[in-house]
């Protein structure tokens, strides 16, 4: 049973690519695709990296989860950015997921040993600004997914490798006459790339979790020392719910995801909303809610978070709470430590 659970579905592989990699957006229901603040990182939207307040930054995130089920299960992230003088910013990151030690048993309840599945995603990105209000971004990801290797009577299983790209755009609309407020919008198309295979058969390939995310955000100063930001994101998986033939291309899957029966419905569009209050750019409090109707998504949850920033060092944490039967992110803590200058 455990072995079966580790097999990638016919539709989606490497689903952890859909998870947030920082505690700031996690505390806001994983919204923040368009929210630019002193606590922002380059990860939610590569295009936004060109407008970060600091020129250089690095961060690490640690997420222990499902510890009551599997020992040593964790998600770790390390990333950074550097902005050049020519309105260009480079980003790089490494994302690591360990499923912990999993004991295998067969249908006769015979112990078949244990495995430790792992997945890695490395990325490099570039953000280019066009003036002070608009920017574009692109990110290349390299994926290595080692869920289970071995052989059975029909196929030989192997680690899967793949690559994909993110393409994003970010636009700011300053409202200087209204307490130096700002509205921003963003579009982010994530994880576009060839299918990944865990088997030695051409007809056993899985789609990557391609995703369309559209975000908007509003921020304003409430006092001379306080700032509030509100973010609203919508997302939709660009993979059809109904299986396609083995030769279907990535572009065919994207088009099919918008066709009747392919996932084009209100219930297939996810939404996340969050709010953040920052005091003196030092202390931050966050709340959010993430609503996901697509059964292939991580599930719906509430979240709360806080952050403390002292000069160049920041510490942020987030707590996610949901129905354990509907989301594996329930009772998850996420910690992010960052340094910027």
Where are the domains positioned within the chain?
A: 2-340
Any idea what the Cα angle at residue 292 is, between residues 288 and 295, rounded to 5°?
A: 150
Kindly list the distances between the CA atom of residue 223 and the CA atoms of 128, 174, 180, 219, 293, in Å, as whole numbers in the listed order: 33, 18, 11, 12, 38
Q: Distance (Å, rounded) from C-alpha 79 to C-alpha 84?
A: 17
pLDDT reported for residue 59:
94
pLDDT reported for residue 5:
40
pLDDT reported for residue 203:
66
pLDDT reported for residue 334:
94
Q: Using the CB atoms, write b or e for 106-126: b if 16+ within 10 Å.
A: eeeeeeeeebebebebebebb
pLDDT reported for residue 123:
97
pLDDT reported for residue 29:
94
Taken in order 252, 202, 6, 110, is the CA torsion positive or negative? Answer: positive
Report the candidate in 336, 299, 270, 319 with the shortest Cα–Cα distance to residue 28. Answer: 319
Helix H or strand E segment including 4: helix 2-6
Q: Distance (Å, rounded) from C-alpha 240 to C-alpha 259?
A: 8
Q: Distance (Å, rounded) from C-alpha 277 to C-alpha 43?
A: 20
Q: Domain 2-340: which topology?
A: Porin (2.40.160)
User: Which residues have a Cβ under 8 Å from the Cβ of 85 and sit 6 or more positions away?
Assistant: none
User: pTM of this prediction?
Assistant: 0.88
pLDDT reported for residue 7:
46
Q: Distance (Å, rounded) from C-alpha 109 to C-alpha 116?
A: 20
Strand 283-291 relative to strand 301-310, pairing: antiparallel
Tokens encoding 202: 């051409």
Report the candidate in 206, 214, 213 with the shortest Cα–Cα distance to residue 240. Answer: 206
Tokens encoding 121: 């995603």
Query: Average pLDDT per run of 10 along the chain, which is 341 residues long?
Result: 43 86 93 82 87 92 77 89 92 93 80 86 96 96 84 66 96 87 96 88 80 95 90 91 67 76 63 95 95 77 95 94 74 93 89
Helix H or strand E segment including 23: helix 23-26
pLDDT reported for residue 260:
64
Residue in the block written with tokens 């982010």:
188
In DSSP terms, 198 is beta-bridged to: none
Tokens encoding 167: 């393409």
Contact 127, 137 (CB under 8 A): yes
Contact 43, 22 (CB under 8 A): yes
Q: Distance (Å, rounded) from C-alpha 44 to C-alpha 21?
A: 8
């Amino acid at each position: 049973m455990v072995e079966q659970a580790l097999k990638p579905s016919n539709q989606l592989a490497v689903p952890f690519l859909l998870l947030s990699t920082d505690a700031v957006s996690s505390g806001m229901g994983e919204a923040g695709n368009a929210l630019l603040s002193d606590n922002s990182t380059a990860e939610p939207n590569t295009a936004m990296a060109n407008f970060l307040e600091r020129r250089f930054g690095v961060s690490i995130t640690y997420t222990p989860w499902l510890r009551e089920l599997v020992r040593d299960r964790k998600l770790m992230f390390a990333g950074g950015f550097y902005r050049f003088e020519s309105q260009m910013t480079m980003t790089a990151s490494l994302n690591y997921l360990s499923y912990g030690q999993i004991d295998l048993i067969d249908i006769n309840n015979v112990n078949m040993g244990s495995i430790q599945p792992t997945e890695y995603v490395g990325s490099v990105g570039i953000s280019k600004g066009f003036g002070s209000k608009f920017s574009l971004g692109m990110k290349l990801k390299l994926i290595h997914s080692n869920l289970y290797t071995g052989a059975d009577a029909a196929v030989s299983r192997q680690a899967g490798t793949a690559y994909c790209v993110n393409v994003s755009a970010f636009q700011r609309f300053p409202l200087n006459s209204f307490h130096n407020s700002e509205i921003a919008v963003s579009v982010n198309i994530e994880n576009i790339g060839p299918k990944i295979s865990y088997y030695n058969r051409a007809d056993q390939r899985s789609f990557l979790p391609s995703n369309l995310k559209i975000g908007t955000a509003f921020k304003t100063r409430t006092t001379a020392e306080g700032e509030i930001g509100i973010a609203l994101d919508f997302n939709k998986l660009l993979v059809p719910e109904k299986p396609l033939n083995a030769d279907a291309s990535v572009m065919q899957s994207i088009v099919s995801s918008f066709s009747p029966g392919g996932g084009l419905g209100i219930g297939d569009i996810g939404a996340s909303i969050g709010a953040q209050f920052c005091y003196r750019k030092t202390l931050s409090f966050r709340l959010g809610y993430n609503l996901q109707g697509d059964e292939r998504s991580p599930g719906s949850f509430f979240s709360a978070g806080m952050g403390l920033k002292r000069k160049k060092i920041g510490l942020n944490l987030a707590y996610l709470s949901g129905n354990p039967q509907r989301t594996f992110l329930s009772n998850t803590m996420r910690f992010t430590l960052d340094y910027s200058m």
